[in-house]
Amino acid sequence: MTKQVQIKYTQLFIDNEFVDAVNGRKFSTINPADGTVITEISEGDKADVNKAVEAAKRAFNRNSKWRTMNPYNRGQLMHKFADLVTRDLDYIATLEALDNGKTYTNAVEDIQGSIAVLRYHAGWCDKILGTTIPTGIHFSNCFRFVTLTRKEPVGIVGQIIPWNYPFMMLAWKWAPALATGCTLILKPAEQTPLTALYAAALAKEAGFPAGVINVIPGYGPTAGAAIAEHPEIHKVAFTGSTEVGRAIMVAAGKSNLKRVSLELGGKSPLVIFDDVDVKEAAKIAHNAIFANHGQNCCAGSRTFVHSKIYDEFVKHAKQLALDIKVGDPFDPKVNQGPQIDQEMFDKVIGLINSGKQQGAVVETGGNRQGEIGYFVQPTVFSKVTDDMRIAKEEIFGPVQAILKFETINEVIERANRTNYGLASGVITKDINKALEFAQAIEAGSVWINCYDVIIPQTPFGGFKQSGLGRELGEEGLKEYLEIKTISINVTKGN
């Protein structure tokens, strides 16, 4: 049932043109549903990043078309881009499902969410305001000052995005950069370059000036490292693993102390008290972990359930997992496609095996699904304890680990006993318990009686080793802005 689709763009996008990599090399992008090669993609590296930076520098020149553009018109360009994404939604979603393995239905939802992010940020373009500060008379009453601030774009931005939400992460990165007037170089994940290259073509069609948007497919140790280390890139924004996030911070420090924002890994707790509708709570917890095949940085991957309802909850969780239909991403009846590649498939299976070896009970799943492609059976573990690898390490797959707890103080302590702090959730009818949990948990997002509620105007980011900075909302814009203070001597006779 996999759709046949024409792949229109396979080259790098620099200065509003599609070009081959300087080194002439290419790499394969793979269909994870069957392991076949979709197409060959130009492989960018340091030389190509250098070219893209030169283009972005020209576009960021203070007299350039981009820098002198009325902010309202900048917003209209972003809306035009969003219009084109809307026009081509089916094609983009098809590319996404083919290249990533997520279901076509989920891909459509991702693109729709991306359009909302683009339009939200487009509305900010002419509303990024400075302030005036009442500084009064200074220096022995001799001088009177007026002080004001300006918010200015940080400059040339390097952006490195992951493979789990390829187009959505592009939108999360491009939207604030463009709204604030920055220019950018994006490196998509090597596993999923197709929708980023198509987005580049749409940006050109929308009318973005040359050099404002550049896309360099390639590998992390080459193209990604070149972005992190480049002395003329003023900021790097990264979504991915904590390990790579550390390397980016080191590179930023060694090069030019460029600003860094990071959205990294998670091992997020979802706590379910005994006063809930167990069946409904199981559905929330199910969606919290199995969405996007478990390939979600803020997935509710530690399900803490009160002992009084534990057995009943496990029964419902097991049935929900059994009801998942795994298979062809383009089949409308399918809920779960393949994992992204062999490496991630092996990691997920390895962690499942560790759960078995350490004494967790496999309620359902626990093995490979089929013989072709990177499919993993939806897996539910009960009798999980805090010391098991499946309770400590980010699995990034369709694996629910259900732990038992007795008291609110105990579960808060256990939930916080991790190096991560991206997200969290609590399900209870007791608002006092919910608020106590929300205040005590060390996480950037807390969802009460729901999970994974992320909308364009709500800030998103992590505590501890889950990242630095925020994306979305007004807070996300601040990551792309510098504040300049201007003081004016208005003393009479001056």
Query: Catalytic residues, which ones?
Result: 263
Note whether 214 and 185 are within 8 A (CB). yes
| 143-153/132-138 β-pairing | antiparallel
Distance in angstroms (rounded) separating the CA atoms of residues 78 and 85: 11
Strand partners, 448: 426
Burial 87-115 (b: 16+ CB within 10 A, else e): ebbebbbbbbbbbbbbbbbbbbebbebbb
Note the Cα 366 to chain centre separation in Å: 27
Residues ≥6 apart with Cβ < 8 Å to 355: 362, 381, 384, 388, 389, 390, 399, 401
Dihedral of alpha carbons 468, 472, 473, 479, sign: positive
Q: Which two tokens stand for residue 334?
A: 């399918």
358-367 long-range CB contacts below 8 Å, 24 or more apart?
358/387, 358/388, 358/389, 358/390, 359/383, 359/385, 359/388, 360/384, 360/385, 360/388, 360/390, 360/401, 363/314, 363/317, 363/318, 363/321, 364/318, 364/321, 364/322, 365/321, 365/398, 365/399
User: What angle separates helix 431-440 from helix 408-415, to the nearest 10 degrees?
Assistant: 30
